[in-house]
Chains A and B, each alone.
Chain A
Amino acid sequence: MNFIRALLRLAVGAWLALVLCADRTAAASTKRQLEQLLDTENHTNNWAVLVCTSRFWFNYRHIANTLSMYRTVKRMGIPDSHIILMLADDVACNPRNCYPATVFDHPQKTTDLYGDNVEVDYRGYDVTVENFIRLLTGRVEPHTPRNKRLLTDDKSNIFIYMTGHGGEDFLKFQDSEEINSYDIADAMQQMWEKQRYREILFVIDTCQANTMFSKFYAPNVLSIGSSKKGENSYSHFHDRDIGVSVIDRFTYYNLKFFESVDMSSKHTMADLIATYNTTLIHSTPGVRTDLFARKLEKTYLTDFFGAVQEVELTPEAFPIGQKQASI
């Protein structure tokens, strides 16, 4: 009798252990599956921050630069909800504009950049150094609307584009203040510490642009600038109807490359950088890759410019809603 009782206890014990182990392994495999799902190698969302730091009529080309980039980024698939566009926005409806409510980047005026569906998030005097740094670091006021926040997470790839008048280690914001390269470097480090990005592509088109990213120290930042220290960046087309220069050389040649790129393209950053021609651009573009983990030949343009989503297929169906999974 005692032997049978002991055997029964042993059996119950073994069964319980088996059940519990199986449960735990099931939970572990579920957890592992979830972790596998969420812990992809790649980014899961794309953001773009496009900043034009100039105002006034004679800086038409900076607005045109930024709006051309905006159009490109949208064409490649990033939606307005993931684009922060900062413009002084005083050009399209400027009384001096003899084509009112339009912004062109080519004398042939084939594409109106300002036509339909432009969503400017920071306009006019809101484009300030303080707002830019608050945007990047996420330290915005509590009442800031959603479209003015950079709602990125640790799997976001961010494309930051800046244009305007600059100099050695500084960028002029709207004629009354300046941001310097240390400010942006510190903001990016804050972003890294707060896990607000996975990778950043920083492109800048100003005079002496390469100095702006010389002080970066946060990891996973790829920087491209239009001219080196002591060099100016030049404008490209001059439109004699409107009376201003309408695009800058560096941005123009970038856009020209992007005309051959679409959402499904397999072009890499190395391809883009290989097309830079100092004679055509009239200045020496610079690239900084020491903070960037991946090779340029393996970095697709669509990593930054597109909204290609990673699709992960699991071998089994994942039980949604049946049991509270212990994640």
Chain B
Amino acid sequence: MSLVLSGQGEKTSPLLRAARKYSGHLSYPLALLGLCWLLALPCSFWRRAYFSENAMLPGQVYTTFGTAAHMDAMLAVDTVLAAGADGRAQALARAFGALGLDTEVQRFSYDEVPRIGNVSGANVHGILRAPRGDAGEALVVAAAWTTGDGASNVNGVRLLAALAQHAREQRYWARDLVFVVTDRGERGIEAWLRAYLGVGAAPLAVRSGQIQAAISVELPPAQRYDALALYFAGKGGQLCNLDFVNMVQHVSRVERMPALLHGLRDAPRSAHWWARYRQAARLLLRQARAQAFGADAHGVHAPFLRYRIDAVTVAGQPAGGDAAAQLARQGLLADVDVPPIPGVQRIGRTVEASLRSLNNLLEHLHQSFFFYLLPANQRYLSIGDYVPASALMVASLLLQAMHLWWMQGAASLRADAPETRIRRINQSYAHLRLTMPASVQIVVRVLALGLGLLLAPQLAAWAVLSDTTTTAFLFTAALASCSLVLHTADQCWAQRGQVDWRQLKSLAAALVAAVVACLAVMNFSLAVLVYVVAGLPLLVTRAAAVRTRAQRVAGVLLLLAVSPVCTMTLGRNVALGLHPLDMAASPFRVFLGDLHHFGSLVYPLVCLVYWPVNLLSMVIVLMP
């Protein structure tokens, strides 16, 4: 109310009046400035990474992995392979037991739908009890039987066996070591974690203490690795502590097989500034994709981060054109034909040195940053460097909202004469009484559609939601949205005096601003993405006056181009990191799966913010 009354006050200064008149125009430069700030991030004025935690002592001890005994331990995995896909869990448990670990096989299954299927799998874990430790805490080394893109990860399991053999020969463990092998990738690890932590699922019988940190190993079949790749983002955009990332990078460099962030090498300092900018932008976009969607599956570290366990994946990067790697990706390489691990000593020593540094710690990693962006190896951008971009974006939306709220109603409400002040107050109040219910009703309608979009798939069992059923559901929802927009626009034209498009746009802008502001400190990449696909189109909706029908139709078509269905279809290969020729995978189903299995927020945001705001923008264009 005071916002309305203040406009009619007697003592408005010329400055305030000018601000009210032109503040709407300021929102566009602010949005542009926010985007330019983001574009400036890949420029080379980053800070150098450093170690915050003094207790880690990374790379300061001799590594001893690589003796004949460790290599022989890998043969145990070959005997396990002979047992086939069904029996290999038990065979692996026996092999771990022979190595001296306390083992257990966890068989999990949920979302059972009769005659259709369920989600099931088997996890095997073996615990090496620290000989002199007090079992209060544990470190996890994890691997899956397959890599994120479907190739075999037998080499990863082999390395795990060798590491287990090495670990049991040492005296210096202060924590138990848990070696986990899963056959369902990230979902298997999520089920294992829930059982380990006693959340929901049937708890494990063989357990250790709190998990302090986890390292996941992914070694696709190859004859040679170019380098190691390091991944560190969780399913919901959580990042692991920067000290952990820096530590693994440092120890891998000591072993002369550097672990590169997302497998990308930095442009050399002698390169042209544009090449350096492009390379940094590439790395930042990869991180943004991993943080926003969490769908870039490499290794099994991601589920740990949701439970506040710092975890990274160390993955081998096959050399380009490697024959074995190409065969494996196409699924033509049998497990038994996988060549031995190239550079096994260096990779094993990297993991050993990382475990040793984690062993030196007394507390969870807490000294370094949890919110950062890494534009290059050994460089970082702290939250103070990138969050002003989102602040500018939010400010642009808020300014627009305030300006439009002021501009709603007839022009006579904004006259300056003090003698008409009381009349103007009454008129503006009457205007609000008339138009607010209509605006709120429109907003509630689109939100109800979004809610239906969110809840309906959750009522159906996961096994029922195949790619085809979800595509059909999405198509139906798109049709429903179109009809809702047109029907609402029709109603607005029928009740022309009762609706005000400025008021509606103001409310929508405030909603998006609130969502982006809250999300910016939790998951920055997702916040920027929500702004770009939902906030920016809203900002420019009806920025110019629409008078003719052609203009309205053009506006609606443009908004359709940025609607969820369109962007997800066109951008899915880029956004989800899918293979360019993979046309069948549905991003909608991927997001729904992430919500269902990991509690990821992308799908709820699409349903409750992106989709409704897009529909609201269309309604605003079509309104009188």
Contact between chains at A95 and B133 (CB < 8 Å): yes
Contact between chains at B170 and A238 (CB < 8 Å): no
Query: Which B residues fall within an 8 A CB radius of A?
Result: 54-55, 57, 60-62, 130-133, 170-174, 356, 359-360, 362
Q: Please give the distance in Å from B127's CB to the nearest CB on chain A.
A: 16
Selected from B55, B130, B133, B171, the residue in CB contact (under 8 A) with A56 is B55
Q: Is A58 an interface residue (CB 8 A)?
A: yes
Contact between chains at A95 and B62 (CB < 8 Å): no
- Give chain B residues whose Cβ lies under 8 Å from the Cβ of A100: 132, 171
A289 CA to B60 CA in the complex, in Å? Answer: 40
Report if A96-B360 is in contact (Cβ < 8 Å); known contacts: A57-B55, A58-B54, A58-B55: yes
Report if A95-B130 is in contact (Cβ < 8 Å); known contacts: A56-B55, A57-B360, A100-B171: yes
Contact between chains at A98 and B170 (CB < 8 Å): yes
Contact between chains at B172 and A95 (CB < 8 Å): yes
Query: Contacting chain B: which of A110-118, A176-184, A239-247?
Result: A239-247
Contact between chains at B360 and A243 (CB < 8 Å): yes
Q: Is A97 an interface residue (CB 8 A)?
A: yes
A100 CA to B170 CA in the complex, in Å? Answer: 12
Report if A243-B57 is in contact (Cβ < 8 Å); known contacts: A58-B360, A95-B132: yes
Q: Is A94 an interface residue (CB 8 A)?
A: yes
A241 CA to B133 CA in the complex, in Å? Answer: 19
- Give chain A residues whose Cβ lies under 8 Å from the Cβ of B55: 56-58
A244 CA to B55 CA in the complex, in Å? Answer: 10
- Give chain B residues whose Cβ lies under 8 Å from the Cβ of A94: 174
Selected from B60, B131, B173, the residue in CB contact (under 8 A) with A238 is B60
* 25 A-B pairs with C-beta separation under 8 A: A57-B360, A57-B362, A58-B54, A58-B55, A58-B57, A58-B360, A94-B174, A95-B131, A95-B133, A95-B172, A95-B173, A95-B174, A96-B172, A96-B360, A97-B172, A98-B172, A100-B171, A240-B61, A241-B61, A241-B62, A243-B57, A243-B60, A243-B356, A244-B57, A244-B60
Closest 9 CB pairs of A and B: A243-B61, A95-B132, A95-B174, A98-B172, A58-B55, A95-B133, A240-B62, A96-B172, A96-B174
A interface: dominant SS: loop
- Give chain A residues whose Cβ lies under 8 Å from the Cβ of B170: 98
Report the nearest B residue to A241, measured CB to CB.
B62
Report if A240-B360 is in contact (Cβ < 8 Å); known contacts: A95-B132, A100-B132, A100-B171: no
- Give chain A residues whose Cβ lies under 8 Å from the Cβ of B132: 95, 100
- Give chain A residues whose Cβ lies under 8 Å from the Cβ of B62: 240-241
A124 CA to B588 CA in the complex, in Å? Answer: 57
- Give chain B residues whose Cβ lies under 8 Å from the Cβ of A242: 61
- Give chain B residues whose Cβ lies under 8 Å from the Cβ of A58: 54-55, 57, 360
Report if A98-B171 is in contact (Cβ < 8 Å); known contacts: A56-B362, A243-B356: yes
Contact between chains at B133 and A240 (CB < 8 Å): no
Report the nearest A residue to B63, measured CB to CB.
A240
Report the nearest A residue to B172, measured CB to CB.
A98
- Give chain A residues whose Cβ lies under 8 Å from the Cβ of B362: 56-57
* A96-B172, A240-B60, A243-B60 known, 11 other contacts, Cβ within 8 Å: A56-B55, A57-B360, A57-B362, A58-B54, A94-B174, A97-B172, A242-B61, A243-B61, A243-B356, A243-B360, A244-B57
- Give chain A residues whose Cβ lies under 8 Å from the Cβ of B173: 95
- Kindly identify, within residues 106 to 128 of chain A, every residue whose CB is under 8 Å from any CB belonging to chain B: none
A97 CA to B171 CA in the complex, in Å? Answer: 8
A96 CA to B137 CA in the complex, in Å? Answer: 14
Report the nearest A residue to B56, measured CB to CB.
A58
Most buried by B among A57, A94, A238: A57
